[in-house]
Amino acid sequence: MAALTKNEKHPDYTEGSIMRSILGMGLPSMVGFLTQNIYALVDTWWVSRLPDGEAAVAALTFFNVILMLLFSFNNLVGPGSVAVISRRYGEKSYALTEKAIKETLLLKLVFGFLFGIIGFFFTENLLKLVGAEGEVLKMGVEYGQIWLLALGLPYATYSVFTALRSVANPRMAMTLMFSSNILNMLLDPLFIFGYLGFPAMGIRGAAVASMISFALTFTVGLFLLYTGRANIRLHLRGEAKVSMETMWRLIQIGIPAWMGSLAWSGARVVIAPMIATFGMAVVAAYGVGMQVVSFGVMVIVGIGLGLSSLIGHNLGAEKTERAKKTGDQAILLSIVMMMAMAVFVFVFARFITTCFFDAPQTVAYGVTLLRIMALALPFIGIFIMIEEIHVGVGLNAPMMIFSVIHSWALQVVPIFLLITFLDITQTAVWWTLLAADIVGTVMVYMYYRRGRWLTVKV
């Protein structure tokens, strides 16, 4: 353990240029998450090449709604792990940092497999709940049950990335995530279409490719952590023992974030069947549109995840003023980056949509959605960045409340009323989502300016 306490083994991002620290921690995470979103788009593109491609994309869209719901349980541990691991690392309490990492991985494996097995037995019912039927339902079950049986692998793999970022190894996390997604993209056509002698599994092949990638990535991540190649080395028997008390503390910090995530993902479950009333072509366009918008979102999520660890480092080192300046500059950075992304999506909306669909009507649906949601991107960027700042300090209850307001009061209720009482098209739904993003972001920013997050202890 002594070798791990040398200064060169523990980089310090709480000194020097604030923007350089934000980019140093955030850019690697951003690159990693961009490749993840590129993989999601490539995955969707390969699936769209199947004989019944539009139905297959709709099946992915419906299952992703269910997956969002199940991944909300990931937040029972994830936000607490970011706050505790990064704070302990900033305090230079390296034995406690190791303990927090091991507790996080253990909890994620248990929760992931538990909720995945539960979801496995109710896959068909859940897909029917969000509006899937016929061939779309059948394909959704085929794809989804493979994902759910192995849900513990993605749960735990994402925590390997989190642990590496939280101990100032963002480039290692980026490399691991990048490699995982590239592997996934390479495996997709092999298992979907049976190239190079592999079994042609159709839509199920996309799920198999994902699970193989997660399994290999998690194994490599454990190897890096247990062999001392990261800034913190894990041991089978560390100085600080894993305990139920501190694991429960991780969960306590995460419960509000989980409830906020559940509110958001639950709203997607409710909105999906309402969108399905406009037809499967609209659902397919919505699925691709959300994937493209997610590409921009992942830019900010990547920066934000690096930022949340950086905020924890600064407060752990008792540098409150620097933490405040870091948050302010990160929000400004999010605005600039998302405005650039918004211009790109707006201008190239038709080209993007025609990469997935040939039917003129489906293309038209996708173009309209993308251009409206492009206007929302800067507001989404601000919202996410403020959310990640609060994750970094372990203050998740306020963001839970804002998530409920944003998802249900500003999205679900207005969309339900519009569809129920007015003869509207799906375009009115897209404008409602945009309005919700604007109003929700203004509310969150006003709260952020109060600065309560600077006084939180974990």
pLDDT digits (tens, 9 = 90+) for 210-228: 999 999 999 999 999 999 8
Query: Which has more pLDDT, 457 or 255?
Result: 255
pLDDT score of 414 more than 60:
yes
pLDDT band at 106 (very low <50, low <70, confident <90, very high): very high
pLDDT band at 245 (very low <50, low <70, confident <90, very high): very high
The candidate with the shortest Cα–Cα distance to 399, out of 358, 444, 430, is 444
The candidate with the shortest Cα–Cα distance to 195, out of 203, 204, 182, 186, is 186
User: Among 36-50, 151-165, 229-243, where is mean pLDDT lowest?
Assistant: 36-50
Check: CB of residue 50 under 8 Å from CB of residue 202: yes
pLDDT score of 39: 81
SS (H, E, C) the chain: CHHHHCHHHCCCCCCCCHHHHHHHHHHHHHHHHHHHHHHHHHHHHHHHCCCCHHHHHHHHHHHHHHHHHHHHHHHHCHHHHHHHHHHHHHCCCHHHHHHHHHHHHHHHHHHHHHHHHHHHHCHHHHHHHCCCCHHHHHHHHHHHHHHHHCCHHHHHHHHHHHHHHHCCCHHHHHHHHHHHHHHHHHHHHHHHHCHHHCCCCCHHHHHHHHHHHHHHHHHHHHHHHHCCCCCCCCCCCCCCCCCHHHHHHHHHHHHHHHHHHHHHHHHHHHHHHHHHCCCHHHHHHHHHHHHHHHHHHHHHHHHHHHHHHHHHHHHHCCCHHHHHHHHHHHHHHHHHHHHHHHHHHHHCHHHHHHCCCCCHHHHHHHHHHHHHHHHHHHHHHHHHHHHHHHHHHCCCHHHHHHHHHHHHHHHHHHHHHHHHHCCCCHHHHHHHHHHHHHHHHHHHHHHHCCCHHHHCCC
pLDDT score of 107: 95
pLDDT score of 315 more than 70:
yes
Q: Give the alpha-carbon dihedral of 16, 18, 23, 26, to 10 degrees.
A: 110
pLDDT score of 132: 85
pLDDT score of 264: 87
| Average pLDDT rounded to a whole number, residues 158-184 | 91
pLDDT score of 427 more than 50:
yes
pLDDT score of 428: 94
- How far, in Å, are 55, 214, 358 from residue 52 at the CA level? 6, 27, 13
The candidate with the shortest Cα–Cα distance to 59, out of 204, 266, 246, 228, is 204
CB atoms within 10 A of CB 277: 11
pLDDT band at 9 (very low <50, low <70, confident <90, very high): low
pLDDT score of 5: 41
pLDDT score of 15 more than 80:
yes
Q: Average pLDDT, whole number, for the chain? A: 89
Rounded Cα–Cα distance for residues 402 and 399 (Å): 5
| Average pLDDT rounded to a whole number, residues 195-210 | 92
pLDDT score of 185 more than 70:
yes
Domain edges within the chain: 17-455
Check: CB of residue 146 under 8 Å from CB of residue 207: yes
| Average pLDDT rounded to a whole number, residues 355-374 | 92
pTM for the predicted model, two decimal places: 0.77
The candidate with the shortest Cα–Cα distance to 365, out of 52, 135, 61, is 61
pLDDT band at 8 (very low <50, low <70, confident <90, very high): very low
Burial class for 27, CB neighbours closer than 10 Å (0-12, 13-18, 19+):
middle
Residue-wise pLDDT tens digits, 40-96:
878 888 988 888 888 888 898 889 888 888 888 888 888 889 889 988 988 889 999
pLDDT band at 290 (very low <50, low <70, confident <90, very high): confident
Rounded Cα–Cα distance for residues 144 and 60 (Å): 8
Query: Which has more pLDDT, 296 or 169?
Result: 169
pLDDT score of 308: 85
pLDDT band at 38 (very low <50, low <70, confident <90, very high): confident
CA 370 to chain CA centroid, Å, is: 20
Rounded Cα–Cα distance for residues 244 and 143 (Å): 35
pLDDT score of 434 more than 50:
yes
% residues pLDDT > 90 (the chain): 55
% residues pLDDT > 70 (the chain): 97
pLDDT score of 271 more than 70:
yes
Q: Which residues, other chains included, contact 353 with Cβ-Cβ below 8 Å and sequence gap of 6+?
A: 285, 288, 289, 362, 363, 366, 367, 370
pLDDT band at 7 (very low <50, low <70, confident <90, very high): very low
Rounded Cα–Cα distance for residues 67 and 329 (Å): 33
Check: CB of residue 31 under 8 Å from CB of residue 302: yes
